[in-house]
Amino acid sequence: MSTPIATSVSGEKRYSVSVASRTNFYILAAGVIIFIILATLPLFGGTALTRRLVDFFTLLALAELWNLMVGYAGLLSAGQQGFIGIGSYTLWLFADKFGIHPFIAVIFAAIGGAIIALPAAALVFRLKGGYLAIGTWVIAETLRLIVANIKSTGGGSGITIQAASQLGTETRVPGAYWWALASALIAIVVTYLLLRSRTGLALKAMRDNDLAAESAGVNLWRSKMYTWVIAGAGCALVGAIVAIHLLRVQPAAAFHINWTAYLIFITVIGGMGTIEGPVIGTIIFYVLRETTSKYGTWYFIALGILAIVVTIWSPAGIYGYVIKKTNFMVFPLQRKLSVLDEGTAPAEIGTGAEKTAG
Amino acid sequence: MDWLNAAVQGILLGGLYALFAVGLSLVFGTMRLVNLAHGDLTIIPAYVALVIVGVAKFNAFYSIPIVMVIMFIVGYLLQRGVLNFVVVRGDIAGVIVTFGLSIVIANALQEGFTANSQGLDAGKIENLSITINERLAIGWLPLLIFVMALVVITLLQLFMNRTKMGRAFRAVSDDQEAARLMGINTRHIWAVAMGVALLIVSIGGVMMGIRTTFHPLLGADRLIFAFEAVIIGGMGSSWGTLLGGVILGMAQTLGARAFGSAWQILVGHVVFIIILALRPQGFLAKTVTA
Amino acid sequence: MSLLEIENVSVFYEDFQALYDLNIKIEEGEIFACIGANGAGKSTMLRTVAGVLFPRQGHILFDGTPIDNMPPHKRVELGISSVPEGRRVFPSLSVHENLLIGGYRNRKGPWTTDAVYELFPLLQPLKKRQASGLSGGEQQALAIGRALMANPRLILMDEVSLGLAPVVIKRIYEAFPILLQNGCTILVVEQDVQHVLTVATHVACFLEGRIALQGVPSDLTTEQITAAYFGV
């Protein structure tokens, strides 16, 4: 369905600016069907498949959040593992210490992530670009060392989440699955809505040019803050789901830099600055890991090299390459300009693939 | 450990951090690239030395000049082959590529040399120390590392201020396009800068390999310590970087003295965070923006 | 053979075409002035000759040698040097160091630091000062001096009068004949038509990426130039 935002007449040509296209309507219909299948999957899919998909959706959610921060706000975080770890430990705190049901405690974990994100922002926003990335890494390391030095959390060797193991597989796995699916959907929907809003335009302007955006009256600091806190809460939410899923939380694993590596590689390879990119990236990552993990960490090395190659030679990623060739997006975020010649169907001249930052 | 002893060890440790940090800020200064693989690139020299010593069977100390030359070449080629394409593209590409490189190096070293800790043998010097009194002893090796930091920073300053190439480095740092218009091949200059940065970290990297052990996953900490030294000291100032390294080193050793060795690194981070909060431009900054 | 030949050159910024099929010939010893409104493509042409931008179509020949794909530093070696728009002196370097950077390629010729100080005596006492502390006029003199240090056969000057006081502009244009005497051809881009036409031996008026009018200034009427400048 073409949904014109505005039309105008200039000279002899009529223009129509629209966001979505008819094809997007069919995609939406297909999406609803896929969603129904995914939502009911634990009922018929079996435990093994459900477990794998928990992995898949948690990774997807993380990648979407990183994409939101970097692809749209230019916030280069290398410290998302800090929020994942905080989420895992907050879940343990609320579930085991305060006796809240683990599936509810997940929400508190997200709030915990947001609360940590606020003071962290005040610190790392003093840095820029690559130094901001290391700054976020320092925050994550600091959080890890604090947790590892607290005796009651089991210190460096970690702790088992009793409340989660008492749930039993038949409850725990589907519950974790639905939360994982929800977190991925939330990440996608939040990104979509945020980017369709005024703030979204501000974020894009900011990604393209800090100074220009600022002089156009965009409140950079607040926009960056929104994305940062949303991503922090989201990563903590995912950390909590991972903790329920694995039953055990350990500082070295929960705060591991590899988390950030996964989501950077996924986003970059799939296509930064689009919602679809991380979906494609997660599928590639997942398939590669499942098929080649018997060769040790080589798959990880290969992914790193692929991310480097993509960044240098095809910075819009795989999905960016696709839209460049076909001018089509599942989640239309760009305004397309159509020339409406009298009596003929709108010939899309589209804006094509947008430059991806970098 | 005595307090005074802890403080002295901290100062000496600061020299090591400064050696790592100078490379990081040299690269940032000439090409505005924050090299997230810098920490991992300080580990490679130790493995190169390990291979050399394994083949040539001599004291690990003698391998240092060879490692420096090799690492210069590695840095030059890395820059010309990969990073030059990234430098001109801005922060996002820079972070992604160098972060990817960091992960690749750490995992490749693990595949090649296992995750086990290794050491380099340099004979007696490893344990020799100057005993000031019964409470204070200064190890020869840490002292040597500190002195090397002073020497390297002095030589780097002379290079920057007195040589034609150093002048070109500063011109490129100021305005890379104008520098190209003046006939400077920025791609070459950047590659030399990366080569020099890795040559400098080789000194600290191999000496640390002699002093303690090393393994492939040390890179993250090394990167973070170098970064903290740069920010504490103030960007763009070599002596500031040394000061930053010393402050960080002392925070760590005194923290360990006060709370136990498990707290060493955490106290360092906390001091860094406090300084970032109160004095984000660092102590001896040349430029205010961080 | 002309010193510089631009043959059918088209230059793009991504999808935007900035120059259309441009043809220019510059002879040794000329002061070739390019005038035109903001965004007409003059600076793009200059940057393409300097090697910061590359043509998508067409060729650039310097003294008969094709230089289309040559990086800027090689062009400096051949004898093309630049006075970039906005002067772009190296702010953290001293005046003297800025001049030395200009001579980075060690091309032989009449220009030395002493010769530059003689041409612009105002720079002499500022030798050790950081370039960032200089006034606009001083920076412009330094930028020209720096370009001369490359001992160029062709010097590219982009908007040298922009933001300067008339008396300073006058002094800068007074230096042009001295440059010519020392074997340096000048390609100058200006929005300020008035001053440049007093010295130019040839003028090309740019309009929307094309040359709308060119010739010897004395042959052209003010009306012709105004028409070409504004495209009316």
DSSP A275: S
Superfamily covering domain C4-230 = P-loop containing nucleotide triphosphate hydrolases (3.40.50.300)
CB distance C80 to C62 below 8 Å: yes
Query: Which residue among B164, B175, B183 sits closest to C90, beta carbon to beta carbon?
Result: B175
Contact A133 B95 (CB under 8 A): yes
Evaluate if residue A346 carries a pLDDT over 90. no
From B108's Cα to the closest Cα of chain A, the distance in A is 7
Of B110, B99, B101, the closest CA to residue B216 belongs to B110
Evaluate if residue B196 carries a pLDDT over 90. yes
Poorest-confidence range of A176-180, B58-62, B179-183?
B58-62
Of B219, B228, B199, the closest CA to residue B104 belongs to B219
Contact B223 A134 (CB under 8 A): yes
CB within 8 Å of chain B, chain A residues 206-245: none
Tell me the pLDDT tens digit for each residue of A299-333.
899 999 999 999 998 888 888 888 877 766 666 66
pLDDT at position A226, please?
87
pLDDT at position A221, please?
77
Q: Where are the domains of chain C?
A: 4-230
From A145's Cα to the closest Cα of chain B, the distance in A is 6
C73 touches chain B (CB under 8 A): yes
pLDDT at position A15, please?
58
Burial B112-151 (b: 16+ CB within 10 A, else e): ebeeeeeebebeebbeeeeeeeeebebbebbbbbbebbee
Contact A304 B107 (CB under 8 A): yes
Copy the structure tokens of residue B99: 């972060």
DSSP C40: S
* Phi, psi of B183, deg, nearest 5: 100, 10
CB within 8 Å of chain B, chain C residues 153-192: none
With both helix axes pointing from N to C terminus, report the angle between B238-259 and B219-233 in degrees, rounded to the nearest 10: 120
Contact C100 B167 (CB under 8 A): yes
Chain centroid offset of residue A315 CA: 18
CA angle A318, A281, A75 (to 5 degrees): 90
C100 touches chain B (CB under 8 A): yes
Evaluate if residue A13 carries a pLDDT over 80. no
Neighbours of chain A (3+ CB pairs under 8 A): B
Highest-confidence range of A20-24, A161-165, B89-93, B159-163, by mean pLDDT?
B159-163
Contact B101 A138 (CB under 8 A): no
Tell me the pLDDT tens digit for each residue of B121-165.
888 777 788 888 878 889 899 999 999 999 999 999 999 999 999
B26 touches chain C (CB under 8 A): no
A315 touches chain B (CB under 8 A): yes
CATH number of B3-278: 1.10.3470
Q: Residue C32 burial (CB < 10 Å; 0-12/13-18/19+)?
A: buried
CB within 8 Å of chain C, chain B residues 135-164: 164
Evaluate if residue C64 carries a pLDDT over 80. yes
Contact B167 C81 (CB under 8 A): no
From A92's Cα to the closest Cα of chain B, the distance in A is 23
Evaluate if residue A79 carries a pLDDT over 80. yes
The total of other beta-carbon atoms located within 10 Å of residue A226's CB is 17
> Which residues does residue C65 pair with via DSSP β-bridges, in sequence order?
C62
The model's confidence at residue A210, banded by pLDDT at 50, 70 and 90, is low
Cα–Cα distance measured from residue B96 to residue B101, given in angstroms and rounded to the nearest whole number = 8
Tell me the pLDDT tens digit for each residue of A190-203.
988 887 776 666 66
Taking residues C84-113, report their average pLDDT: 96
Poorest-confidence range of A1-10, B3-12, B96-105, C52-61?
A1-10
B236 conformational bin, left if phi > 0, alpha if psi -120 to 50, beta if neither: left
Cα–Cα distance measured from residue A314 to residue A308, given in angstroms and rounded to the nearest whole number = 10
Cα–Cα distance measured from residue A272 to residue A354, given in angstroms and rounded to the nearest whole number = 11
SS3 content of chain A, % helix, strand, coil (to 5): 70, 5, 20
Taking residues A205-234, report their average pLDDT: 74
Taking residues B170-196, report their average pLDDT: 97
Copy the structure tokens of residue C84: 């970039």
Copy the structure tokens of residue B236: 């763009």
Which residue type occupies A347? A
CB within 8 Å of chain B, chain A residues 134-193: 134-135, 137-139, 141-142, 145-146, 148-149
Which residue ranges form the domains of chain A, and what is each CATH number?
4-348 (1.10.3470)
pLDDT at position B158, please?
96
Mutate to test the interface with B, among C74, C77, C92, C107 (most CBs of B within 10 A): C92
Taking residues A262-268, report their average pLDDT: 94
- Residues of chain B contacting residue A312, judged by C-beta atoms under 8 Å apart: 82, 85-86, 93, 97
Task: Indicate the Cα dihedral angle C60, C65, C71, C74, nearest 10°.
Answer: -140
The model's confidence at residue B198, banded by pLDDT at 50, 70 and 90, is very high
Q: Token match 């003010």: residue?
A: C222
Cα–Cα distance measured from residue C17 to residue A277, given in angstroms and rounded to the nearest whole number = 30
Q: Token match 């060890």: residue?
A: B9
Contact A74 B89 (CB under 8 A): no
Average pLDDT, chain A: 83
> Which residues does residue C13 pair with via DSSP β-bridges, in sequence order?
C16
Evaluate if residue A354 carries a pLDDT over 90. no
Evaluate if residue A358 carries a pLDDT over 80. no
Copy the structure tokens of residue A198: 């005024």
Tell me the pLDDT tens digit for each residue of C111-142.
999 999 999 999 999 999 999 999 999 999 99
Cα–Cα distance measured from residue B187 to residue B174, given in angstroms and rounded to the nearest whole number = 15
Evaluate if residue B193 carries a pLDDT over 90. yes
The model's confidence at residue A30, banded by pLDDT at 50, 70 and 90, is confident
Contact A145 B94 (CB under 8 A): no
Q: Token match 């916030």: residue?
A: A75
Poorest-confidence range of A181-190, A216-225, B9-18, C174-183?
A216-225
CB within 8 Å of chain C, chain B residues 184-243: 184-185
Cα–Cα distance measured from residue B266 to residue A155, given in angstroms and rounded to the nearest whole number = 14
Taking residues C93-100, report their average pLDDT: 97
Taking residues B41-68, report their average pLDDT: 94
Taking residues A150-179, report their average pLDDT: 89
Of B259, B260, B276, the closest CA to residue B224 belongs to B276
Contact B269 A138 (CB under 8 A): yes
Taking residues C165-185, report their average pLDDT: 91
- Residues of chain C contacting residue B183, judged by C-beta atoms under 8 Å apart: 72-73, 76-77, 81, 104-105, 150
Q: Token match 């190209």: residue?
A: B180
From A249's Cα to the closest Cα of chain B, the distance in A is 20
Evaluate if residue B217 carries a pLDDT over 50. yes
A133 touches chain B (CB under 8 A): yes
Cite the DSSP H helix spans in chain C.
42-50, 72-78, 95-102, 113-119, 136-148, 166-174, 176-181, 193-199, 222-230
Residues 6+ apart with CB under 8 A from A118: A229
Cα–Cα distance measured from residue C132 to residue A286, given in angstroms and rounded to the nearest whole number = 54
Taking residues A150-167, report their average pLDDT: 88
pLDDT at position A342, please?
37
* Phi, psi of A171, deg, nearest 5: -100, -45
Tell me the pLDDT tens digit for each residue of A331-343.
666 554 444 443 3
CB within 8 Å of chain B, chain A residues 25-54: none
Q: Token match 């960080």: residue?
A: B248
From A103's Cα to the closest Cα of chain B, the distance in A is 32
pLDDT at position A347, please?
35
Q: Where are the domains of chain B?
A: 3-278
For chain A, first and last CA: distance in Å? Answer: 33
The model's confidence at residue A40, banded by pLDDT at 50, 70 and 90, is confident
B250 touches chain C (CB under 8 A): no
Average pLDDT, chain B: 93
Q: What is chain A's alpha carbon radius of gyration, rounded to the nearest angstrom?
A: 21
State what percent of residues in chain B have pLDDT above 70. 98
Tell me the pLDDT tens digit for each residue of B249-272.
999 999 999 999 999 999 999 999
